[in-house]
Amino acid sequence: MEDLHEGGCVCGQVRYRTTGKPKRVSLCSCTWCTKRTGSALGVSVYFAEQDVEFLSGKLKSHRLTSDAGRWIESQFCENCGTALTWTLEFLPGHRGMAGGTFDPPTFWYEPERFVFMRSKPEWLSVPKGVDCFAGMPGSASE
Ligand SMILES: [Zn+2]
Ligand SMILES: [Zn+2]
């Protein structure tokens, strides 16, 4: 049976569906993740690009340069502004989904790694079994 999960933005206009298991699930406290979420960390759920289908609504795009010096193309609902998804220069062929935008059952995936630990708040503890990195492993900012 196919492993399908759906999610969407706050206003409900943008809806998406993912197929299969994520390729990678990261927790991240980089500047971009804390800004886009307004929180202490982002939950980044990466799929192969072809495993994400957008069902309704309109997305707007914004491109910026990450803490690691690479571009991030971020997409959000043009109506309510929920940041839902992005693509990254350093992960070609993949699409990140904002973990908290999945419908119930939310957080059905297992985080594997915590990146940008150096900007993680002291009061936030990392779950057991999650690999920790000061920056982005494999980049100059590691
Ligand atoms: Zn919306
Ligand atoms: Zn991040």
Domains of the chain: 4-25+42-114 (2.170.150.70)
* pLDDT-derived band at 138, boundaries 50, 70, 90: confident
Work out the burial of residue 110: count CB atoms within 10 Å of its CB; fewer than 13 is exposed, 13-18 middle, 19 or more buried. Answer: exposed
pLDDT computed for residue 140 by the predictor: 56
55 alpha carbon – ligand 2 mean position (Å): 26
Three-class secondary structure of residue 126 per DSSP: coil
55-67 per-position pLDDT tens digit:
999 999 999 987 6
Which ligand is nearest the CA of 80, by number? Answer: 1
pLDDT computed for residue 1 by the predictor: 64
Pairing of strands 131-132, 83-88: unpaired
Helices (H), 43-82: none
- Give distance in angstroms: CA of 80 to centre of ligand 1: 4
Span 118-137, pLDDT tens digits: 999 999 999 999 999 999 88
- Report how far ligand 2's centroid is from the alpha carbon of 22 (Å): 17
Distance in Å, CA 47 to ligand 2 centroid:
16
For the cut 60, the answer to whether the pLDDT of residue 38 exceeds it is yes
**How far is residue 64 from each of residues 10, 17, 74, 101, measured CA to CA in Å?**
23, 26, 8, 21
